Amino acid sequence: MQIFHRSTNTIAKVSIFGGVFLVAASLWVIAEINRSSYNTGQFIERQQPVQFSHKHHVGDDGIDCRYCHTSVETSSTAGMPSTKTCMNCHSQIWSESPYLEIVRTSFKE
- pLDDT tens, residue by residue, 72-86: 888 887 788 888 989
- pLDDT tens, residue by residue, 46-73: 777 788 888 988 888 898 988 888 888 8
Distance CA 34, CA 40 (A): 7
- Residue 38 reports pLDDT greater than 90: no
DSSP code of residue 98: G
Distance CA 43, CA 77 (A): 12
Mean pLDDT of 5-28: 93
- Residue 44 reports pLDDT greater than 80: no
Task: Give the per-residue pLDDT at 24.
Answer: 98
